[in-house]
Amino acid sequence: MRHHHPVHEDEYGAFHVFRHADVLTVASDPGVYSSQLSRLRPGSQALSEQILSVIDPPMHRTLRRLVSQAFTPRTVADLEPRVTELAGQLLDAVDGDTFDLVADFAYPLPVIVIAELLGVPPADRTLFRSWSDRMLQMQVADPADMQFGDDADEDYQRLVKEPMRAMHAYLHDHVTDRRARPANDLISALVAARVEGERLTDEQIVEFGALLLMAGHVSTSMLLGNTVLCLKDHPRAEAAARADRSLIPALIEEVLRLRPPITVMARVTTKDTVLAGTTIPAGRMVVPSLLSANHDEQVFTDPDHLDLAREGRQIAFGHGIHYCLGAPLARLEGRIALEALFDRFPDFSPTDGAKLRYHRDGLFGVKNLPLT
């Protein structure tokens, strides 16, 4: 597709964008390629004017500056000892004979980190996990239970709306509490954030907390699964990173490039435009493929090869104004998780013949990964 149909209109009228350069163009121009997907259904209510990932400038700029003041690279760097401790605890609890990387490690680790970051008490962590499970229609223990049945509307309510409401109500109470009694957590920092006289409303803080869980949980869990699957295919890279731990960050970048957990972004055109010679009318969905861009031979030589010395920008975290705010946290968790696995297990690989269940709908990663 990159050669012959770099911009391809599908049967539903959505335009898929495959080349690295074109994906950057789309992500760099929010004036033409809007993140406000409610524009696809004229007359419908905006999803929310408070959710960072689905708004455009100038609102996006204000909101992003405010949340960035609280969620800083320093906030993330300070998490390192705690993430290391949590990774160790989860692996300590593992039963060596039936170790599932996702259920026992990759799935719980990021949700605990986000819950702690927000200042959610340990007793309420399971609530967070259950909301996240249900909203993503993914239950590691029993996937059959989570499928939509005959009454799709009712199932949608049960699976998505109810936990969303419960989480919002919980976070609202939490924000009220932190306004009254600030603590050393992200919610308190968000309450305190000020940029040019602007401050965040309770609603915005609640939406941001919910977004962190939605954006940061399963994506990071998929990154860890993808890392182990990549190592299976590239044993020399594993040997090199085991021998020299300073290669782990480069390894994680290559895993993100080869198997980006989020394979596509979504935008809607605000006016007629031309991309790579193709006319895209106003009001159409545009779907830039991070997976394809990350394999673009114009940017990456021998793109299917895992190369620890590779230069060139992988774009698994997106690009432009919506560039992933959690990228430093995802990289930190990826590195620490792999260090912990290397420390505990001199050798591990996916169990032969195990049936792997994959996420769908723009996600690239497994829901289970039994290891031997």
Assess 32 for contact with ligand HEM (CB under 6 A). no
Query: Do 281 and 269 form a contact (C-beta atoms < 8 A)?
Result: yes
Query: Do 6 and 296 form a contact (C-beta atoms < 8 A)?
Result: no
Q: Outline where DSSP puts E strands in the chain.
A: 7-9, 15-17, 33-34, 194-195, 198-199, 267-269, 273-275, 278-280, 285-288
In the complex, what is the shortest distance from the CB of residue 285 to ligand HEM, in angstroms, rounded to a whole number?
Answer: 12
Assess 86 for contact with ligand HEM (CB under 6 A). no
Query: How far, rounded to the nearest angstrom, does the alpha carbon of residue 238 sit from its chain's CA centroid?
Result: 24
Q: Outline where DSSP puts E strands in 196-290.
A: 198-199, 267-269, 273-275, 278-280, 285-288
User: Can you tell me which of 225, 326, 350, 365 binds ligand HEM, judged by CB under 6 A?
Assistant: 326
Indicate the residue among 248 and 316 with the shorter CB distance to ligand HEM: 316
Q: Can you say whether residue 194 is alpha, beta or left, with left for phi > 0 and alpha for psi between -120 and 50 degrees?
A: beta
- Here's the x/- map for ligand HEM, 277-316, by CB under 6 A: it reads as ---------------------------------------x
Q: How many CA atoms lie within 13 A of 322 on its CB side?
A: 26
Applying CB under 6 A, the span of 145-153, 259-267, 270-278, 360-368 interacting with ligand HEM comes to: 259-267
Assess 220 for contact with ligand HEM (CB under 6 A). yes
- Mapping DSSP onto H, E and C, the string for 289-325 reads EHHHHCCCCCCCCCCCCCCCCCCCCCCCCCCHHHCCC
In the complex, what is the shortest distance from the CB of residue 97 to ligand HEM, in angstroms, rounded to a whole number?
Answer: 29
In the complex, what is the shortest distance from the CB of residue 33 to ligand HEM, in angstroms, rounded to a whole number?
Answer: 10
Three-state DSSP class for 141?
Answer: coil
Angle at the Cα of 359 (from 357 to 364), degrees rounded to 5? 110
User: Can you tell me which of 23, 159, 186, 324 binds ligand HEM, judged by CB under 6 A?
Assistant: 324
Indicate the residue among 119 and 318 with the shorter CB distance to ligand HEM: 318
- What kind and span of H or E run contains 259? none
User: Can you tell me which of 70, 109, 111, 211 binds ligand HEM, judged by CB under 6 A?
Assistant: 211
Assess 225 for contact with ligand HEM (CB under 6 A). no
Indicate the residue among 312 and 362 with the shorter CB distance to ligand HEM: 362
In the complex, what is the shortest distance from the CB of residue 237 to ligand HEM, in angstroms, rounded to a whole number?
Answer: 18
> Distance between terminal CA atoms of the chain?
38
- Here's the x/- map for ligand HEM, 42-81, by CB under 6 A: it reads as ----------xx----------x-----------------
Residue written as token pair 């049936």? 355
Assess 261 for contact with ligand HEM (CB under 6 A). yes
Dihedral of CA atoms 300, 304, 306, 312 in degrees, nearest 10, equals 10
In the complex, what is the shortest distance from the CB of residue 16 to ligand HEM, in angstroms, rounded to a whole number?
Answer: 15
- The residues that touch ligand HEM, with contacts defined as CB under 6 A, are 35, 52-53, 64, 114, 211-212, 215-216, 219-220, 223, 260-262, 265, 316-318, 322, 324-326, 329-330
